[in-house]
Chains A and B, each alone.
Chain A
Amino acid sequence: MSLEMLLVIAFGGAFLTYLLGKLSPVLRDILAVLLTLVILAIVALFYGRTGESSFMNFLGFNLSLRINTLSWLFAIAVATLGSLSTIFSLSYMKGKERLDFYYLMMLIVNASMLGIVFSGDLISFYVFWEIMSWGTFLLISYNRGPALAAGLKYIVMSIVGSTAYLLGMFSLYASYSTFNIADIASRISTASPGYLLSVLVLFSITFGIKNALVPLHTWLPDAHSEAPSPFSAVLSGILIKMGTYGFVISMYVLVGIKALSHLGHGILSFHFMLAILAAVTILVPTFIALMQDDAKRVLAWSSIAQVGYIILGIAIGTSLGFAGGMFHFLNHASFKALLFMAIGAVEYRTGTRDLNSLGGIIKKMPFTFMMTLIGALGLIGFPLTNGFVSKWLIYKTLILGKDPFLAFVALFGTWGTILYAYKILHNIFMGQLPEEYKGVEEAPFSMKFPMVILSIIIILFGILPGIPLKVINVIGVSLGFKSLAVNIWGIASDTGALNTINIFSAILVSWIVVWLIFKAAPTSLRVEQDNNYAAGSYVPTGRYLYTANFYAPVYRIIKPYVIDVVDIFYMALAGAVRTLCDWTRRMYTGELGSYVMYIMLFLAVLITMRLGFNIW
């Protein structure tokens, strides 16, 4: 099976599904699931393959597809999440309108993501990138109303990103007259640091927007909360990671470690700046997430913060940090998708995801609770989940790299994460069950199944982190990092090793001991929720649940400091642009002379910029 065939199946299947939907919705559903499963199987079979093939000649440029371990890792994540979210969609989307369109877009976005990771040159990368962006836009605004506004916000920022990408791409072409990534990479080491930096900055804008790196994140909270839940899982789980892929490609494939290390030194180096940006991305969104009342908005802000960890690991640029960042990308894909699906299941059953009005759902949806719990534990980075290992790697890198302040931000962000993760768990599942949710049922099988798979991944990679770490180590080595001493249970090292098996068995044994003690004591009486301490009174119905303003004291402390300054800035900017446009209308005088003058001015600016690059 070749890469071209895969993409043909992926895109063709998507359109076939759309057409089949006109005939029979059931067949459409089956085909969509089958298609994603087939893609998953094919991608899985690609494991270990490397190679590049040209598939098309476009205006004289050779467009090529390429596979290596790096793209395989991303592709398998795409394919897994794609199939799971499609299965999840089956019951979640049931009864909604324009379903053919929904499935078409889902499958096309998946296919385009596969296209991105398998692209061997900048042009096909760009084409797939645009398909993905527009498909995402259509899916985000699927629900219309506020969703349309969120989608517009997304696509405007996406276009800005694409423009930056095009600038970078053409600039590279101008220098090396090829679009092929591998060709550019082999020649770029001779370029001046200033030029490299400018290209990197341009690409960083593109990928930073997709990756929702502060200060380019503002599209994400709206988009995540407005999109349909299965797509939110894809969006947060893998789609924004295309930005991560872009960062890896531009930093370590295009430019390469060696050239990268020459870009400035100490605090003023490129990757240190990126790391600081990542630290800000961890810190601020974590606390904004804490203050949200909509479950999906909490998760959306949390996605931004977690992306911060990924970029932090990758930006630091040691083999341990790179491994941590890459592993965290996988982990984030698993637990954030799981969380979005679980919230989706709750929303599907109760009709709301408002953290203030839910409560006590654990009595009705214990399975969904367990899944949310596992997802939340992974998010926190609880020992025995995969999030722990990746965060441990990142922390260790930072501490031993003498960056304790970045480490502090990362660790502190984790404690913020605990707060909002528990808030989600508590406000949805814990506490008293309100009257109106007495009739809620457990999620259907097609929702349970993807959640189970994801939770198994979380636990498995948490106890045996060696499985993904070995793959990541291969990638790292291929990119020129030092090889790590990876075992199946973690990492051996002189400065503090990690052994998850030890942790697992210690906790298991002490669990058994405590459980035996617990069992030896008299059995306790199971009581209803209204048999509860209320200072001697009977529990008032429906008014005995603490959810609103869950962390009120913290809110009061942080509220003056934690505001989305960036969003406010962009909004002000948008307002200013509108005024500016009103003003510029007056420039269209209709006289040829003035237009000529504008063009001259513009050229002058361009020339100055060009000169500026050279001087730098």
Chain B
Amino acid sequence: MDRNNLIKWLKEPKKMGNKYSLWAVYFSTACGVIEVPPVLTSRWDAERFGIIPVATPRQANLFLITGYVTTKTLKAIIRTYEQMAEPKYTIGFGSCPINGGMYWDSYNTIKHLDKYIPVDGWIAGCMPRPEAIFIGVTKLWGMIDKGLATGYIRYRENYDYYRGNQEKLFGSMEWPPLYTLKEGTNDG
């Protein structure tokens, strides 16, 4: 650990802790997940940077949404995302969550993930290579440093928007709103 890092540690331990200890939700949302095991195992070894998969969303602070998202999965993603501890970061992985990718006309996949949950960063490509994941993570570090990775705050502040969109898609949701909704927005 060099001196610069040490000073940063003393100054902002919170940020540094969040940077170097990204615990990922283990959720194989879709095909992108096939590049996650290599990243976590001996060839690429993400544990060097403190990235490990954890069992439940409560323990995690990084959500890699790997690939296209079907409506059924989206529900699980929202549930999982809402259960994560704050601060939490999401990375959309692959082309499909950005704009539907090659499933742009599929009846069962959503096209823009950021309409339903906030996404802090995107990694494009189909498949993104393991290096791309690391680049994505370093970008996320930069965002955490600069205080830009604020998806979870955006979610809380614009909860009526996100919840509204979710309900538009699903009709009704089984669980009550996580945050209180602002007035007159929950009619869509």
Contact between chain A and chain B defined by CB under 8 Å: yes
Q: Which residues of A contact B175 (CB under 8 A)?
A: 530-531, 538
Instruction: Decide: A531 near B83, CB < 8 A? Known: A538-B174, A538-B175.
Output: yes
Q: Chain A contacts of B75 at CB under 8 A?
A: 536
Which among B27, B58, B76 has the highest number of chain A CB atoms within 10 Å?
Answer: B76
Query: Taking the complex as formed, is A533 at the interface, i.e. its CB lies under 8 A from any CB of chain B?
Result: yes
Q: Check B127 for interface membership: any CB of A closer than 8 A.
A: no
> Which chain A residues numbered 519 to 577 have a C-beta less than 8 Å away from chain B?
528, 530-531, 533-538
Interface residues in B67-101 by Cβ distance below 8 A to A read 75-77, 79-80, 83
Q: Which of B76, B174, B176 contacts A536 (CB 8 A)?
A: B76
Assess A533 versus B58: contact at CB under 8 Å? Given A538-B79, A538-B174, A538-B175: yes
Q: Check if B186 is an interface residue, CB within 8 A of chain A.
A: no
Which residues of chain A have C-beta atoms less than 8 A from B118's C-beta?
none
Q: Is B53 an interface residue (CB 8 A)?
A: no
* Interchain CB contact (< 8 A) of A533 among B77, B83, B176: B83
- In the complex, what's the smallest C-beta–C-beta distance from B48 to chain A, in angstroms? 27
Give the chain B neighbours of A538 by CB distance below 8 A: 79, 174-175
Query: Which residue on chain B has the smallest CB distance to residue A535?
Result: B76
What total of chain B residues lie within 8 Å of the partner, measured CB to CB? 13
Kindly state the separation between the CA atoms of A185 and B156 in the bound complex, as whole angstroms: 82
The B contact surface, by secondary structure, is: helix
Cβ distance A517 to chain B, nearest Cβ, rounded Å: 15
Distance to closest chain B CB from A3 (angstroms):
64
Tell me, in angstroms, the Cα distance from A519 to B64 when the chains sit together: 31
Cβ contacts under 8 Å, B174 to chain A: 538
List the A side residues contacting B77 at CB < 8 Å. Answer: 536
Chain A, Cβ-Cβ closest to B57 = A533
CA distance A507 to B65 in the complex (A): 45
Partner among A528, A530, A531, A537 whose Cβ is within 8 Å of the Cβ of B76: A537
Question: What mask results when residues 50 to 67 of chain A are scored 1 for a CB within 8 Å of chain B, else 0?
Answer: 000000000000000000
Q: In the assembled complex, how far is the CB of residue B19 from the closest CB belonging to chain A, in whole angstroms? A: 18
Q: Inside 8 A of B76's CB, which chain A residues have their CB? A: 535-537
Query: Of residues A534, A536, A537, which shows the largest number of chain B Cβ atoms within 10 Å of its Cβ?
Result: A536
Question: Known: A530-B175, A531-B175. Contact between A536 and B58, CB under 8 A?
Answer: no
Chain B contacts for A537, CB-based, 8 A: 76, 79
Q: Chain B's nearest CB lies how many Å from the CB of A237?
A: 42
Chain B residues within 8 Å of A528, by CB: 176
User: Does B56 have its Cβ within 8 Å of any Cβ on chain A?
Assistant: yes
Which residues in window 490-539 of A have CB below 8 A to B?
Answer: 528, 530-531, 533-538
Complex alpha-carbon distance, A531 and B84, angstroms: 11
What separation, in Å, do the CA atoms of A534 and B80 have in the docked complex? 9
- Complex Cα spacing A606 to B22, Å: 85
- Bound: A320/B175 CA distance, A: 59
Q: How far apart are A27's CB and chain B's nearest CB, in angstroms?
A: 52
In angstroms, Cα B83 to Cα A538, docked, is: 11
- Complex CA–CA separation, A535 to B83 (angstroms): 11
Residues of the B chain whose Cβ atoms lie less than 8 Å from the Cβ of A531? 83, 175
- Which residues of A sit under 8 angstroms from B83, Cβ to Cβ? 531, 533
> How close is A534's CB to chain B, nearest CB, in angstroms?
8
Please, how many angstroms separate the alpha-carbon atoms of A530 and B82 in the complex?
Answer: 13
| B residues less than 8 Å from A530 (CB atoms) | 175
- Measured between C-beta atoms, what is the minimum distance from A60 to chain B in Å? 80
CB distance from A503 to the nearest CB of B (A): 33
B92 to chain A, nearest CB (A): 17
Return chain B residues, CB-CB under 8 Å to A534.
79
**Please, which residues of chain A bring their CB within 8 A of the CB of B80?**
536
Binary flags per residue of B123-149, CB closer than 8 Å to A gives 1, else 0:
000000000000000000000000000
Find chain A residues with CB under 8 A from B176 CB. Answer: 528
User: Would you give the shortest CB distance from B86 to chain A, in whole angstroms?
Assistant: 8
> In this complex, what residue of A is CB-closest to B58?
A533
Interface residues of B in 147-188 (CB under 8 A from A): 174-176
A528 vs B76: C-alpha distance when bound (angstroms): 19
B58 to chain A: which residues have CB within 8 Å? 533
**Complex CA distance for A365 and B178, rounded to whole angstroms:** 27
Expressed in whole angstroms, the minimum distance between the Cβ of A606 and any Cβ of chain B is 74
CB distance from A214 to the nearest CB of B (A): 44
Q: In the bound complex, how far is the Cα of B176 from the Cα of A538, in angstroms?
A: 11
Nearest opposing residue in chain A for B78, CB measure: A536
Chain A, Cβ-Cβ closest to B59 = A533
For the complex, what is the distance from the CA of A444 to the CA of B174, rounded to whole Å? Answer: 36
Distance between Cα atoms of A538 and B79 in the complex (Å): 8
Most chain A CB within 10 A, of B79, B80, B175, is at B79
Kindly list chain B residues whose C-beta atoms are within 8 Å of the C-beta of A535. Answer: 76
Cα distance A536–B174 in the bound complex, in angstroms: 12
| Bound: A94/B57 CA distance, A | 49
B-contact bits for A440-478, CB 8 A (1 contact / 0 none): 000000000000000000000000000000000000000
Q: How far is the CA of A586 from the CA of B174 in the complex (A)?
A: 75
Smallest CB separation, A538 vs chain B (Å): 4
Distance from B152 Cβ to chain A, minimum over Cβ atoms (Å)? 13
Instruction: Name the CB-closest residue of B to A524.
Output: B85
CA distance A513 to B27 in the complex (A): 37
How near does chain A come to B167, taking the closest CB pair, in angstroms? 14
Q: Chain A's nearest CB lies how many Å from the CB of B80? A: 5
Report the minimum CB–CB distance from A544 to chain B (whole Å).
13
Tell me the bound Cα distance from A535 to B75 in angstroms.
11
Instruction: For residue A435, give the distance in angstroms from its CB to the closest CB of chain B.
Output: 15
Smallest Cβ distance from A554 to chain B, in angstroms? 25
Question: Chain B 32-57, CB within 8 Å of chain A: the 1/0 string?
Answer: 00000000000000000000000011
How far, in angstroms, from A94 to B176 measured CA to CA in the complex? 41
Q: Which A residues lie within 8 Å of B57 (CB)?
A: 533
Chain A residue at minimal CB-CB distance from B27: A536
Residue of B nearest to A530 (CB): B175
Residue of A whose beta carbon sits closest to that of B25: A536
**Cβ contacts under 8 Å, A533 to chain B:** 56-58, 83
Distance in angstroms between the alpha carbons of A536 and B55 in the assembled complex:
12
Q: How far is the CB of A434 from chain B (nearest CB, A)?
A: 18
A531 to B57, CA, bound (A): 12
**Nearest Cβ distance between residue A64 and chain B, in whole angstroms?**
70
Instruction: Tell me the bound Cα distance from A118 to B56 in angstroms.
Output: 63
Interface residues of B in 90-119 (CB under 8 A from A): none
CB distance from B163 to the nearest CB of A (A): 15
A74-87 interface mask toward B, CB cutoff 8 Å, 1 = contact, 0 = none? 00000000000000
**A537-B77 Cα distance, complex, nearest whole Å:** 9
Give chain B nearest CB distance to A535 CB in angstroms: 8
Chain B residue at minimum C-beta to C-beta distance from A536: B76
- Complex CA–CA separation, A535 to B25 (angstroms): 11
Q: Besides the contacts A530-B175, A535-B76, what 8 more A-B pairs have beta carbons closer than 8 Å?
A: A531-B175, A533-B57, A533-B58, A533-B83, A534-B79, A536-B79, A537-B79, A538-B174
20 CB contacts below 8 A, A to B, read A528-B176, A530-B175, A531-B83, A531-B175, A533-B56, A533-B57, A533-B83, A534-B79, A535-B76, A536-B27, A536-B75, A536-B76, A536-B77, A536-B79, A536-B80, A537-B76, A537-B79, A538-B79, A538-B174, A538-B175
Across the A-B interface, give the 8 residue pairs with the lowest CB-CB distance, nearest first: A536-B76, A538-B174, A533-B56, A536-B80, A536-B79, A538-B175, A533-B58, A533-B83
